[in-house]
Amino acid sequence: MIDASKSIAACAKYYGDESNSVKKYLIEGEKKALFIDNRGPILFDSDGSLSSSIRSSYSKYGFYIFENVLSNEELEDIKIDLEKIRNILPTRPDSKFNHIGGPALGVDNKALNLIWSKPLGDPLGGTKLANGRHQIKMFEPKASKEAPDFTPLILLGSLQFSEACLRTYAHPELLRVAESINGPDFAPFNEALFIKDPGIGAAVSWHQDGVTHWKSKDFNEDIHGFNFMAQVYGSTAVNGVWVLPGTHKIGKIDIKKLTVESGGERLKGCIPIICNPGDVVICNRQLIHGSFPNCGYERRVTVNFGFHKRSSVLGVKGGGIHSASQIFNSDVIERRSRVLGYAIEARKQRFPNEDHYIYKPFNESNKVFQWNENSLKDLKDYNLDDLSI
């Protein structure tokens, strides 16, 4: 497991008079996170469903850490693509050019791709963005004089920019997990890269995902779906996501009130998600979660993608966070699902000896996909149809 002790000490110094309490919070959270029994390899029962012990742990805590899911080969592919992406990012939020003067990533896209922040900032907290779900603003430490003016935080629609991430999206064991939890006709949600560079990575204020079903008569712990969070470099108490276990079952929570009861932004009972490279977290979207600014030494890049129950999206008007609000009829769901078809075919080409996943809706409709240059063009702006609920 990654040793973040030096980063914890370095991070605490950014908080001035509160440095000792911050250090204590990070260390105690890390100990609690490593104590609970919710990590291990992906396992399935004899009937093909997700292991009942894993399913029970995921239901209890709202997250589970699947260890050693991505091979070193797959991780290297992702890292190569990440470097390519970094080389064509805009030089700043208002720029259409990359650092060598060429057209920047996403410059001619219709959909929003990059969310930026000032170094160690919290661009979403306490604002009306994302329907105001980030209710409080996290402390924003002062970055070093060498820090850039802006740093990328989230790359949306990421599968159109990285074939390696597209292939990971079709990882057969992860898709079997999705089927076990959301049914064989599960539907896509949204994909993104979360970028938390050392010394500048921004915070993501405490929040619960999900907009549409909080007051539904059919409300349950899985109604807003889940995210897979694949770790490229690992995650620690300093750079990783923190969660408040069990809150995915409660319903919509007043985070401002929790902050007052906790005496500040360091919410009582929260723990960090501690991972090694290649681990993949399944995280319920209703769970309270967030991350502090990355004041430490380790980088984090998370390959983020999620899935829904089809019943949660079919005929539902979208929440308008990840895409413009629209009614998700069967045509929209089918159009958005094509990304999964391309992903499965792309993965077949890269890992031909692997038992690839068969997606039931494609099998029933005899839908056939091919992965080639034209397929890549068809992915442009696919996230305009993100099934955001």
> Residues 265-314: pLDDT tens digits?
999 999 999 999 999 999 999 999 999 999 999 999 999 999 999 999 99
> Cα torsion for 151, 156, 161, 165, to the nearest 10°?
100
**Residue 324 pLDDT:** 82
Q: What are phi and psi of 294, to 5 degrees?
A: -85, 85
What is the C-alpha to C-alpha distance for residues 193 and 86, in angstroms, rounded to an integer? 12
CA dihedral 35, 68, 58, 347 (to 10 degrees): 170
C-alpha to C-alpha distance for 24 and 27, rounded to whole angstroms? 5
Q: Are 19 and 12 in contact (CB under 8 A)?
A: yes
**Separation CA 196–CA 203 (nearest Å):** 8
- Determine the pLDDT at residue 128: 86
Q: What is the pLDDT of residue 241?
A: 98
The number of beta carbons lying within 10 Å of the beta carbon of residue 179 is 20
Extended strands (E) in the chain: 39-40, 63-66, 114-117, 151-156, 187-196, 204-207, 226-231, 242-243, 271-272, 280-284, 289-291, 300-308
> How far is residue 381's CA from residue 371's CA, in Å, rounded to a whole number?
17
Q: Residue 65 in contact with residue 275, Cβ under 8 Å?
A: yes
CA distance readout (Å), 92 to 104, 105, 117, 192:
10, 12, 10, 19
Give the burial string for 315-338 (b: 16+ CB within 10 Å, else e).
Answer: ebebbebbbeeeebeeebbbebbb
Domains and their CATH numbers in the chain: 5-312 (2.60.120.620)
What are 141's two structure tokens? 């430490």
Give the whole-angstrom CA distance, residue 302 versus residue 234. Answer: 9
Taking the model in full, what pTM does it have? 0.95
pLDDT digits (tens, 9 = 90+) for 317-356: 988 788 888 999 999 999 999 999 999 999 999 999 999 9
Residues of the chain with pLDDT under 70: 1-2
- With contact defined as beta carbons under 8 Å apart, do 268 and 262 qualify? yes
Q: Measured between alpha carbons, how far is 362 from 340 in angstroms, rounded to an integer? A: 10
Q: Which two tokens stand for residue 67?
A: 């260890």
Model pLDDT, residue 373:
87
- pLDDT at res. 321: 80
**Pairwise CA distance, residues 284 & 248, whole Å:** 7
